[in-house]
Amino acid sequence: MSELNVLEAIRQGIDEMMAADERVFVFGEDVGKRGGVFRVTEGLLDKYGPLRIIDAPLAESVIVGACIGAAMNDTLPIAEIQFADFIAPAFNQIVQEAARIRYRSNGDWNVPMVIRAPYGGGIHGALYHSQSIEATFAHIPGLKVVAPSTPYDAKGLIKSAVEDADPVLFLEHKKTYRLIKGSVPASDYRVPIGLADVKRSGSDLSVFTYGLMLHYCLEAAQTLERAGTSVEVVDLRSLRPLDTATILDSVRKTGKALIVHEDNLTGGFGGEVAALIAEHVFEYLDGPITRLGAPDVPAMPYAKPLEDAFMLNPLKIATAMRTLAAY
C-alpha cells in the first residue's frame, strides 16, 4: 500500500505494464525528455529508451493512426494526446478506423491500443484546455471509454486498458491529477473495464457521475447526510461499455436519479443514462430524472468568474440533490 495521487498511479500502471511486456510502448508529443506536459511519463524514457518512449511529431491524426498500425503489428501502443481538446484532428482515425477495424474485418484484425487524454476543466485552461470529450466517443461502438476518478481505479484501469484487445480511450481528469490522493496496493491488481462502482451507498436518491464530479458529488452527499438525506453515489468509471445493471439497480432501490457531468448538458452523456432509466425502471421512479451539466456554451472560458459560472461545484450539486430529494 502506498499513498499516490492520480497522476502517479497512472504512471505506475504504465511503468509496470512496460516492465512486464516489451510490446508496450508510448507515443505522443513531449512524452520523452519532457515526460509529458503533465509529467505522467516522467522517468520512463531513461528506463525504457527512445524506441519505447517516442516523441511524436505534432500531428494527432498520425499519432493515433500509427498506433493503430503498430497495434496490428503485434505491439501494444499507448498514444498520448497532450490535451483531450487536441484529439479532434484524430477523430477520423479513432472513429472510422480504430473502432471499426474488428467489425469490418469480421473479427480478423483487431486494435489493442490505449489513447490517453487529459480532459476536464476548473484549471484555468480556457476553451481549448478544459474540454470534456466523453459524449462524442462513448457513442462509438467498437471503442471503449473509461474515466477513472481515484488513484486506485486509475491504476487498475490503465492496466486493464493496456491488456484489452480493443481500443480504449482513457480519460484522465486534469484537476484530479495532483488533487486526488488515495492508497494503492502494491499487488498487481486490475479494475475491470465495464463495471461501475458504488462509491457511497444511500437510500433516498441515486447520483450517477464520473471524473472530477465524483468528488464534488461525494462532498455534496456528505452535506446532505447532515440534513438526514441518504445519497447513493455511483461512479460510472466506464462509459462504454456502461454498467447498466448497477445503474438500474440503484434506481430500483432509491427511486430517484440525478446525473451529473462537467460536460455541456445538451447531447452530453447524461442523456444516455437518463434514457436508460426512463425506459427500463420507469415504474420505480419517484421523481423526474434530473441532469446537471455545464451550460450549453461552446467551451469553458478563461476568466475566473466565467469559469466558475461554467463549472459545477459541490454547492450547485447539493442544491440539485435537495430539490430532487424533496420531490
Partner 1 sequence: MTLSAEQELLAPITLRSELPAETLREMYHYMALARALDERMWLLNRAGKAPFVISCQGHEAAQVGAAFALQRGKDFTLPYYRGLASVLVMGMTPTEVMLALFARAADPSSGGRQMPAHYGSRRLKIVTQSSPVGTQIAHAAGISLAEKIKGGDAVAWTSFGEGTTSQGDFHEALNLAAVHRLPAIFQCENNEYAISVPIRQQMAVNSVADRALAYGMPGVSVDGTDLLAVYEVTRRAVERARRGDGPTLIEARVVRLTAHSSDDNDRTYRPQRELRSLRQHDPLARFVAYLHDHDLLSEAEAQELRAQIAAEVDAATEAAEQAALPDPETLADHVYGS
* Residue from 82, 130, 136, 209 in contact with ligand TPP (CB under 6 A): 82
SS3 state at 147 = coil
Q: Name the segment binding partner 1 (CB under 8 A); options: 25-33, 177-185, 244-252, 265-273.
A: 25-33
Helices and strands, counts by H and E, the chain:
13, 14
Considering only residues 42 to 81 of the shown chain, the ones binding ligand TPP according to CB under 6 A are 58, 60
- From the list partner 1, a copy of itself, ligand TPP, none, partner contacted by residue 69 (C-beta under 5 to 8 A by kind): partner 1
Q: Where are the alpha helices (DSSP H) in the chain?
A: 6-20, 44-48, 60-71, 91, 101-104, 134-138, 151-163, 176-179, 212-226, 244-254, 270-280, 304-310, 314-326
Q: Locate 207 and state its grid cell.
A: 447520483
Q: Does 128 bind partner 1 (CB under 8 A)?
A: yes
* Nearest residue (CB) to partner 1, 185 versus 295: 295
Q: Is 261 a catalytic residue?
A: no
* Nearest residue (CB) to a copy of itself, 221 versus 273: 273
- From the list a copy of itself, partner 1, ligand TPP, none, partner contacted by residue 322 (C-beta under 5 to 8 A by kind): none
* Residue from 3, 19, 43, 295 in contact with partner 1 (CB under 8 A): 295
Number of residues that bind ligand TPP (CB under 6 A): 6
Minimum distance from CB of 64 to ligand TPP (Å)?
A: 12
Pairing mode, if any, of strands 238-240 and 144-146?
A: antiparallel
Q: Which residues pair with 215 in a beta bridge?
A: none
- From the list partner 1, a copy of itself, ligand TPP, none, partner contacted by residue 59 (C-beta under 5 to 8 A by kind): partner 1
C-alpha torsion angle, residues 137, 141, 143, 147 (rounded to 10): 50
* Nearest residue (CB) to partner 1, 227 versus 306: 306
SS3 state at 123 = coil
> Among residues 129, 173, 215, 261, which one is catalytic?
129
DSSP string across 35-86? --TT-TTTTHHHHH-TTTEEEPPS-HHHHHHHHHHHHTTT-EEEEE-SSGGG
Per the listing, cell 441515486 goes with 206
Phi/psi at 87 (5° precision): -80, -15
Q: Does 86 bind ligand TPP (CB under 6 A)?
A: yes
- From the list ligand TPP, a copy of itself, partner 1, none, partner contacted by residue 284 (C-beta under 5 to 8 A by kind): none
Q: Does 80 bind partner 1 (CB under 8 A)?
A: no
Minimum distance from CB of 114 to partner 1 (Å)?
A: 14
Q: Which amino acids are annotated catalytic? A: 129
